[in-house]
Amino acid sequence: MSYLSISKTISNKKATISLLVSDLFNMHDFDVTNRYLNQFNNRKINTDDRYIKLGFRYKFGNTKLKINELKKELEELERLKEKDN
Could you report the per-residue pLDDT of 10-42, keeping only the tens digit for each?
A: 988 889 999 999 988 888 888 999 999 989 999
- Is 32 inside any structural domain? yes
Instruction: Assess if residue 43 is contained within a domain.
Output: yes
The range of the structural domain enclosing residue 44 comes to: 3-60
Q: How confident is the model at residue 7 (pLDDT cuts 50, 70, 90)?
A: very high
Q: 0.75 cut: is pTM over it?
A: no
Residue 54, strand partner residues:
19
Q: Which residues in 14-36 are b (16+ Cβ under 10 Å) and which e?
A: eeeeeeeeebeeeeeeeeeeeee
Q: Give domain status of residue 17, yes or no.
A: yes
Does the pLDDT value for residue 6 go beyond 90? Answer: yes
In a domain, 27, yes or no: yes
The predicted structure's pLDDT at residue 70:
62
Count of the separate structural domains present in the chain: 1
